[in-house]
Amino acid sequence: MWKTARNSTVRMIRMIYFLIYMSAPIIDVEELNFYYDYKLPTETYALKDVNLQVNQGDYVVFFGPSGCGKTTLVYLIGGITTEKSGTGKIIVNNADVLQLSREELASFRQTGIGIIFQNFNLIPSLTVLDNVALPMTFVGVPQEKRREEARKILARLGMDIYAERYPMELSGGQQQRAGIARALANNPPIIIADEPLGNLDSENAEHVLKFLKELQEKDGRTVIMVTHEAWSVRDADKIIYMKDGGVVKVDTSGTVTNAEIIPLTAQLNRELYPDLSTDEIMVKSLSNLLLRGFSSDEVKRFEFFLDERLSGKIDAATFEAMLDRPYHQEGVGLWKQRALKISAITEDIIAERKKLIEVLHELEKEPEKSLTMEVSDLRTWALKGYNGHVDDRQRHRLDDLVSKRLRGGIPADDFRKALNLPRSKDGVGFSLRTAQHISDRLESVLVSGLPGDIKEAITNVTNV
């Protein structure tokens, strides 16, 4: 009797501990303010009243445009920045990083958090193996053990064959992997990757994202990924949006799937750049998705030409030529085939948007105007890429829905749901995927909508 009671009490206590442990965030930032060059003429107020929590075992994205304070924030969390011009609290694993002594900080940096730096930060005079083993030196791991551990980590990243090379002898992608391996030394429970995709091509960028996700799912690490590229926020348990040194929004709606990236991108851009016009938002969203993995300079240049193209300052041929022209000759420097594809996608969207804007103008003048032809054209365009059969009844229902959507009589969400609803319930009876595809395409050309054809574009472009 006593025994049973005791067991159940122990279980309960364990459960309580478990709940406390699980529910306490592993990182808790409270009212953090930070200045560079405090009280000097060059003072920068880099972080403003930042509050955020990261839970144990989560995959969290810090998302925001360049200069919004992401690196400042993660360097403070990781104990890299030691300037004392910050106020507030940064609790990591129950310790306040801002209050740690110099010695405590040094140990925290080696074992508490592994940081993957944007510019790799490898030591040029050490081999890859020694770079990875270095953090273990600081915590007194004997040399043989260090090298053995470093080799294991490198092998996991497919980098063991480069162990004896120097950083200079590696490609950008390989250096990045060496940087990731070094962040894993000493098994830190938290991994922070500061813009790990910035310097990588799309294939390497995909690998890095997958690996970070694996560190969370298989190794149970808490992972923070810092990015300004909307396409890369997928799979996050939590997205923390930053702007001008502050947190503007926290999204915990859960894992973002591929299908959700498109609307999300436009939504993100709209939230981050509320002052931009729809066309400017379109430029940002398109470039985010088409130029995944490109450097910010290339993206800037792409956005410039896309903007010129959308506003009609350059024609299709010039746009395509500028995409293809080498970077050092003032072009974007894309691969020929990629330039052709991106230009084709862009032209298709521009043409359809143009038609649609005319239709919307007509509707403004005459709201009850019948649009049979226009709706049927738009429906045909939206169906492009769908190879299944559409019978008369479906077509009729579809046109009815498109017409309602055009007239603002039904929100985008309801439109998509109606496409997916079975015919018996007065829907079109498309699969969820087809419904999403068609609705994405339609929304892409609606004036308030977002760039279309993008999901297809991503697949096509990245498959080139």
Q: Site residues (CB under 6 A) for ligand ADP?
A: 36-37, 44, 46, 64, 66-72
**Footprint of Mg ion (CB under 5 A):** 70-71
Contacts of 15 (CB under 8 A, 6+ apart): none
Query: Measured from the CB of residue 69, what is the shortest distance to ligand ADP in angstroms?
Result: 4
Q: Which residue is nearest to Mg ion (CB)?
A: 71
- Of the pair 198, 452, the CB lying nearest Mg ion is at 198
Query: Measured from the CB of residue 92, what is the shortest distance to ligand ADP in angstroms?
Result: 18
Candidates 124, 129, 120, 122; CA nearest to 163 is 129
Place of tokens 């994202």: 209
Q: How far apart are CA 98 and CA 86, in angstroms?
A: 8
- Of the pair 201, 244, the CB lying nearest ligand ADP is at 244
- Of the pair 66, 255, the CB lying nearest ligand ADP is at 66
Query: Measured from the CB of residue 340, what is the shortest distance to Mg ion in angstroms?
Result: 33
- Of the pair 76, 159, the CB lying nearest ligand ADP is at 76
- Of the pair 70, 379, the CB lying nearest Mg ion is at 70
Burial of 366-382, coded b for 16+ CB within 10 Å and e otherwise, reads eeeeebeebbebbbebb
Residue 91 bridge partners (DSSP)? 28, 96
Q: How far apart are CA 44 and CA 244, in angstroms?
A: 11
Candidates 241, 181, 229; CA nearest to 205 is 229
Q: Choose from ligand ADP, Mg ion, none: what does 67 bind? Cβ within 5-8 Å by kind.
A: ligand ADP
- Of the pair 37, 164, the CB lying nearest ligand ADP is at 37
Residue 402 is encoded by which pair of tokens? 């498109």
Contacts of 215 (CB under 8 A, 6+ apart): 184, 191, 221, 223
Query: Measured from the CB of residue 72, what is the shortest distance to ligand ADP in angstroms?
Result: 3
Q: Choose from ligand ADP, Mg ion, none: what does 66 bind? Cβ within 5-8 Å by kind.
A: ligand ADP
Q: Choose from ligand ADP, Mg ion, none: what does 72 bind? Cβ within 5-8 Å by kind.
A: ligand ADP
Instruction: Indicate the helix (H) or strand (E) that contains 33.
Output: strand 25-36
Residue 316 is encoded by which pair of tokens? 């299709």
Burial of 37-63, coded b for 16+ CB within 10 Å and e otherwise, reads eeeeeeeeebbeebebbbbbbbbbbbb
Q: Choose from ligand ADP, Mg ion, none: what does 174 bind? Cβ within 5-8 Å by kind.
A: none
**CB 212, CB 59: distance < 8 Å:** yes
Query: Measured from the CB of residue 176, what is the shortest distance to Mg ion in angstroms?
Result: 15
Q: Choose from ligand ADP, Mg ion, none: what does 380 bind? Cβ within 5-8 Å by kind.
A: none
Query: Measured from the CB of residue 270, what is the shortest distance to Mg ion in angstroms?
Result: 22
- Of the pair 72, 202, the CB lying nearest ligand ADP is at 72
Query: Measured from the CB of residue 76, what is the shortest distance to ligand ADP in angstroms?
Result: 10
Q: Choose from ligand ADP, Mg ion, none: what does 46 bind? Cβ within 5-8 Å by kind.
A: ligand ADP
